[in-house]
Amino acid sequence: MRKLSVFALLILTMLPWSCEAVSANDLRQFVRGSWNDIRKAHAGKPTVVHFWGVTCGPCRTEMPNWGKLLAQRSDLNLVVINADLVPNEPAAVTAMLAETGLASAENWTFGDGFVERLRYEIDPHWRGDIPRTMLIERDGATTTVEGVADLDRVRDWLDAQNANAQR
């Protein structure tokens, strides 16, 4: 038993201390009305809302790129929502957020088993495909990017939003 404790302590000391952690308590539950809450909280600010899932293959590839973009751009107002069709264990969600550098983003997870109702509140035409990204301008105008987002396009959009704010 003592050997196991020493081994565990050794492993912990080898972990990078700069690694951000996110706990299940940090995940906000996305339920009926949450979409309106997010829109109100970010009103007047260019905001990127990214929908992803633990079981989504393209999301696993794309999420680290979102983490890098968040680290590079202090002007990125990013909301990340786990929108898997099947409920995920909070540990799986938080682990993926930490692994991809998204622990510091505003993180939500679908908290209602009736996901169709949640998706309908966001976009009545959305059938659940992820990844999905919504670019919301200061005036509330929204552009939806289905599938893996071109992050160069997101950077250009963000630059244009900043330029418009300075006029």
Under DSSP, the state recorded for 87 is P
Run means of pLDDT, 10 residues per run, the chain, 167 residues: 41 36 74 97 97 96 97 96 85 95 96 91 95 97 97 97 84
Partnered with residue 29 across adjacent β-strands are 109
pLDDT for the residue numbered 123: 96
pLDDT for the residue numbered 88: 77
Under DSSP, the state recorded for 18 is T
Q: pTM here? A: 0.84
Question: How far is Cα 16 from Cα 18, in angstroms, rounded to an integer?
Answer: 5
Multiple choice CATH, 22-166, 3.40.50.300, 3.40.30.10, 3.10.580.10, 3.30.160.270? 3.40.30.10
pLDDT for the residue numbered 10: 34
Q: Hey, is 67 helix, strand or coil?
A: helix
Amino acid at 8: A
Question: How far is Cα 72 from Cα 75, in angstroms, rounded to an integer?
Answer: 9
Q: Would you list the domain boundaries of the chain?
A: 22-166
Question: How far is Cα 88 from Cα 93, in angstroms, rounded to an integer?
Answer: 7
Q: Are 52 and 81 in contact (CB under 8 A)?
A: yes
Question: How far is Cα 143 from Cα 38, in angstroms, rounded to an integer?
Answer: 16
